[in-house]
């Protein structure tokens, strides 16, 4: 029986459990055995009881649960070849030659590298006496399939990442709650949401809540934005709005890449407009909580597709990432998606904001 490993890695996201459940149950349905690798790449490097067979009932109740029940970690050891050698050895010891990895672009870059190095890692393990050549013989090809788990919706080539809609839902509820108190006291609120290089959560939340102003990394405000923002808020107040909501992505900055902080925005509203203004940093509440309908659906369909991709792979197949485009679950070239994702961050770092927006639009 083929053995398929499943792992969650990098930042946790609601829906990751749904993906694990779908991979486990589809593997079993297709006549394979499923193995959970606990704590991301740490589990693969450490081996032992960090790699456990999963039966049908072991993933019961996973679908709605937030976070990741098989754990995740940032693993320094896997960044270096000796760590990946240990990981390869543990794969062989457990008879696993296919991995479905649900994580962000970092995790998927690591996965692609692992596959690239694969037969070489086995040869090294044989030549240094850690494994016998015969034992590695059946495992010459490593199948890797990526699933994108990230609340930021920051991966190119897919319309949505697993977790982003659950997070957005929580942000909208949090902003609604703040709205009530803001309107009661006629206050202003500056709300910081997650997103270091990607303003998707901030932008979508601001549309969905009717915020007055939004700051996102891809399109920083022009010089003189302080006057523009205060002018807009003043106009809204004159029209009878009793509260002011400004949403700011954690990676927001101006055109010179100088960080714009929530307190800076608050001080502007307080000093120039005499608005009683508070800062709310939503922090990790954005990550937690139940997966929303969309993430349960997406993670299930993509988990099934990931196992299909494993079973249909040939040695020539490029490493796929499972995406969704125009509501269709698809397989895309993993490294191409990672490359495009990184080019947005690079454009921002080079202050080429038109290019950053162009790349986002092209997605």
Q: Does residue 101 touch ligand ADP according to CB under 6 A?
A: no
Instruction: Summarize the annotated binding site as residue ranges.
Output: 11, 74-75, 104-107, 150-152, 187, 194-196, 250, 278, 284-287
Stretch 126-145: interaction string toward ligand ADP, x if CB under 6 A? --------------------
Q: Tabulate helix, strand, coil % of the chain (nearest 5).
A: 50, 15, 35
Q: Does residue 46 touch ligand ADP according to CB under 6 A?
A: no
CB of 106 to ligand ADP, least distance (A): 2
| 58 has catalytic annotation | no
Nearer to ligand ADP, 51 or 182 (CB): 51
Neighbours of 330 (CB within 10 A): 15
CA dist list (Å): 123 to 18, 89, 130, 328:
36, 11, 10, 40
**Residue appearing with tokens 């303003």:** 199
Binding segment for ligand ADP among 75-83, 86-94, 139-147, 286-294 (CB under 6 A)?
Answer: 75-83
Residues binding ligand ADP: number (CB under 6 A): 16
Going by C-alpha positions, the residue among 323, 358, 347 that lies closest to residue 337 is 323
Q: Are 231 and 224 in contact (CB under 8 A)?
A: no
d(CA 64, CA 15): 7
Contacting ligand ADP (CB under 6 A), which of 79, 207, 223, 362? 79
Helix residue spans in 102-192 (DSSP H) = 105-127, 133-136, 164-185
Q: Does residue 15 touch ligand ADP according to CB under 6 A?
A: no
Q: Does residue 303 touch ligand ADP according to CB under 6 A?
A: no
Neighbours of 104 (CB within 10 A): 23
Binding segment for ligand ADP among 100-108, 211-219, 259-267, 350-358 (CB under 6 A)?
Answer: 100-108
Q: Does residue 110 touch ligand ADP according to CB under 6 A?
A: yes
Q: Does residue 10 touch ligand ADP according to CB under 6 A?
A: yes
**Residue appearing with tokens 């191409």:** 336
Mutual angle of helices 164-185 and 200-209, in 10-degree steps: 50
Q: Does residue 68 touch ligand ADP according to CB under 6 A?
A: no
CB of 99 to ligand ADP, least distance (A): 13
Catalytic residue among 152, 154, 212, 295: 152
Which sign does the torsion angle of CA 124, 43, 60, 151 carry? negative
Instruction: Summarize the annotated binding site for ATP as residue ranges.
Output: 11, 74-75, 104-107
CB of 78 to ligand ADP, least distance (A): 4
**What SS3 class is residue 331?**
strand
Q: Are 278 and 190 in contact (CB under 8 A)?
A: yes
Instruction: Tell me which residues are annotated as active site.
Output: 152
Binding site for ligand ADP (CB under 6 A): 9-11, 41, 74-75, 78-79, 103-107, 109-110, 113
């Amino acid at each position: 029986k083929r053995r398929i490993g499943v792992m969650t890695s990098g930042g946790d996201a609601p829906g990751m459990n749904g993906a694990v459940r779908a991979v486990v149950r589809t593997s079993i349905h297709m006549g394979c055995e499923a193995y959970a690798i606990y704590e991301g790449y740490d589990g693969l490097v450490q081996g032992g009881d960090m790699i456990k067979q999963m039966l049908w009932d072991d993933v019961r109740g996973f679908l709605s649960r937030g976070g990741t029940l098989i754990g995740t970690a940032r693993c320094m050891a896997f960044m270096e070849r000796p760590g990946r050698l240990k990981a390869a050895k543990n794969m062989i010891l457990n008879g696993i030659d296919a991995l479905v990895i649900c994580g962000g672009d970092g995790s998927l870059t690591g996965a692609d590298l692992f596959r690239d190095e694969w037969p070489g890692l086995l040869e090294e393990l044989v030549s240094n006496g850690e494994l016998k050549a015969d034992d590695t013989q059946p495992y010459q090809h490593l199948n890797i399939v990526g699933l994108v788990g990230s609340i930021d919706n920051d991966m190119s080539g897919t319309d949505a990442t697993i977790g982003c809609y659950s997070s957005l839902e929580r942000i909208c509820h949090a902003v609604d709650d703040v709205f009530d108190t803001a309107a009661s006291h006629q206050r202003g609120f500056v709300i910081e949401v997650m997103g270091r290089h990607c303003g998707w959560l901030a932008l979508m939340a601001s549309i969905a809540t009717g915020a007055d102003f939004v700051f996102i990394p891809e399109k920083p405000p022009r010089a003189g934005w302080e006057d523009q923002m205060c002018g807009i808020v003043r106009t809204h107040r004159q029209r009878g709005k009793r509260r002011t909501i400004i949403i700011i992505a954690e990676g927001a900055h101006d055109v010179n890449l100088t960080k714009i902080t929530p307190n800076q925005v608050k001080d502007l509203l307080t000093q120039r407009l005499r608005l009683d203004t508070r800062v709310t940093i939503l922090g990790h509440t954005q990550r937690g909580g139940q997966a929303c309908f969309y993430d349960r659906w997406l993670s299930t369909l993509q988990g099934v597709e990931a196992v299909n991709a494993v079973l249909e792979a040939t040695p020539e197949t490029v490493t796929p990432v499972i995406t969704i485009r125009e509501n269709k679950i698809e397989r895309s070239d993993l490294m191409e998606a990672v490359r495009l994702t990184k080019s947005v961050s690079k454009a921002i770092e080079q202050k080429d904001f038109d290019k950053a927006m162009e790349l986002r639009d092209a997605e």
